[in-house]
Amino acid sequence: MASKSEVDSSKFKGTTFTLGSRQSELAQIQTNIVIQKLAEKFPIYTFETKFNETEGDKNQSQALFLLGGKALWTKGLEELLANKQVDMLVHSLKDVPTDLPEGFKIGAILEREECVDSLVMKKGSPYKMLEDMPAGSRIGTSSVRRAAQVKNYLQNHHKDLEMVFKDVRGNLNTRLKKLDATGVDDAFDALILARAGLVRLGWSDRATQDLAPPVLYYAVSQGALAVEIRSDASQELSELCEALTHQSTQWKCLAERAMLRRLEGGCSVPVGVNTTLTNVEQGEERLRSGELILKSAVLEITGCVTSLDGEQQFVRTIEGKVTNGGEAENLGTQLGEILLNTEAGQILKQIKADRASRAKEAMTVETAAKTS
C-alpha cells in the first residue's frame, strides 16, 4: 500500500506531463499540436517533450514489410511510457498497430486532418496530374496500398500509361530531398504522400493533385493523431485525453481499425478505406473537449483490397446507424468479415504467405553471412 507521502509526491509531480514521439520534424510538429490543445484547456499544467528514434527510423534500407513487426514506429517509444519517462505518446494513428501490447491503450483520437493522398511532383516538373505524366514515369512510394491501387487505376483507365513504382524510405524531409535530387541522384519524377503530413509541415503547396477515393482509398486512420497512454494511467491523464478526443473522428477510425484487425493487416497491406458519418444527431451535453456530445450517426465505410500487381481489386461498402464507438467497431469488423469471404481474402492470404517465405529467405542469407 502506498504511504501518504508517496501519494502526495506523485500528485505534485503530476503537474508536469511529458509527451514523447519520434524525432522526425512531422512527429515533433504533431506533438506540439497536442501540447497546444492541452495548454489551452489546462493552463495550470506544464508540458514537456521527449523525442526518440524508433526501429523504423533506424533501418532505412530494408523494405518496410520485410522488417516484420507491425510495431516499427511505436515499440521503442512504449518502453519510455512503461518506464514512466513519458506520460503520453503522440503517434500518427495509422502507424499504430491494431492491437497494442499489454499495458498500453489509446487514450485519445484527435480530429482528423484531410485524409487523402496527394501527388507531389519533382521541383520544376511541367506536369501536375498523374494523367499528364509520360509512360515510364518513376513514382516513389513505400506504400504497397498506393502502388497497387494506382496501378489498378491506370490499367483500367489509361492502359498505355504504365509507370514505374519505386520504394522510397525516410521521413518526409528525406523523401522530398530524394524527389528533388538531380544528376546521378535523380531517381523519382513524383511521390505519393499523405496530404495530412504535407499540411502539417506547411508544404501543402507541393501537392499538385489529390488522389482520393475511388481512385485511391486512403490508409486506415490516415490523417488522425492518437495519444497512447499506460492502461493504468491516472485520472488526471484520462481527463487530458478526454479533452483531446474528437468523437466523430474516433468513431470513424475505430470502425476502420476494426476492419483492418479482422483482415489481420498492418500498415503494409494493400488495404484502403473511405468512411463518412451522416445524419449526425447531437445531444445537449458538452464533452470535456468542448464539443456537443454525438448521440447517433449513420456510418458508411468502404474497404478496398488490391492485388500487388493492381490486376484485381475488391471494394465493398457497409453502412449502419451507430450510437457509440463499440457499434462503429462492430460495423468495421463486419466489413472485414465480408471482404475476407470474397477473393480479397485470398489476395491477402497469398501476400502473407509470400512475405513469410521472403522474410525467411532474408534471414537465412543474413545468418549465412554472419557465420561465413
Ligand X SMILES: NCc1[nH]cc(CCC(=O)O)c1CC(=O)O
Q: Largest Cα–Cα distance in the chain? A: 75
User: For 201, phi and psi rounded to 5 degrees?
Assistant: -85, -5
189 binds ligand X (CB under 6 A): no
Q: Is 316 a catalytic residue?
A: no
193 binds ligand X (CB under 6 A): yes
From the candidates 146, 178, 195, 252, give the one annotated as an active-site residue: 146
Give me the least distance between CB of 69 and ligand X, in Å please: 14
Give me the least distance between CB of 13 and ligand X, in Å please: 31
Contact positions with ligand X (CB under 6 A) in 235-264: none
94 binds ligand X (CB under 6 A): yes
Give me the least distance between CB of 21 and ligand X, in Å please: 12
How far apart, in whole angstroms, are the C-alpha atoms of residue 5 and residue 49?
27
How far apart, in whole angstroms, are the C-alpha atoms of residue 188 and residue 122?
7
From the candidates 115, 241, 253, 267, give the one annotated as an active-site residue: 267
From the candidates 22, 70, 151, 175, give the one annotated as an active-site residue: 175
Nearest to ligand X of 54, 230 (CB atom): 54
227 binds ligand X (CB under 6 A): no
Q: Is 185 a catalytic residue?
A: no
Q: Is 169 a catalytic residue?
A: yes
All three cell numbers of 87, joined, read 506520460
Q: Is 230 a catalytic residue?
A: no
Assess contact for 168 and 60: CB atoms under 8 A: no
275 binds ligand X (CB under 6 A): no
Contact positions with ligand X (CB under 6 A) in 310-369: none
Amino acid at 232: D
Q: Is 261 a catalytic residue?
A: no
How far apart, in whole angstroms, are the C-alpha atoms of residue 265 and residue 339?
13
With CB under 6 A as the contact rule, the residue among 87, 95, 228, 329 that binds ligand X is 95
Give me the least distance between CB of 128 and ligand X, in Å please: 19
Q: Report CA-CA distances (Å) from 229 to 21, 78, 168, 233.
A: 12, 9, 31, 6
| Among 221, 199, 242, CA closest to 88 | 242
Nearest to ligand X of 193, 277 (CB atom): 193
Nearest to ligand X of 116, 233 (CB atom): 116
Q: Is 262 a catalytic residue?
A: no
Tell me the DSSP string of 32-87. Answer: HHHHHHHHHH-TTSEEEEEEE--HHHH--SS-GGGG--S-TTTHHHHHHHHTTS-S
Nearest to ligand X of 249, 307 (CB atom): 249
34 binds ligand X (CB under 6 A): no
Chain-centre distance of CA 87, in angstroms? Answer: 21
Grid coordinates 481527463 are at which residue? 239
Per CB under 6 A, the segment of 11-19, 40-48, 194-202, 249-257 that binds ligand X is 194-202
How far apart, in whole angstroms, are the C-alpha atoms of residue 188 and residue 139?
6
37 binds ligand X (CB under 6 A): no
Catalytic residues: 94-95, 145-146, 169, 175, 267
Binding site for ligand X (CB under 6 A): 92, 94-95, 172, 193-194, 196-197, 222-223
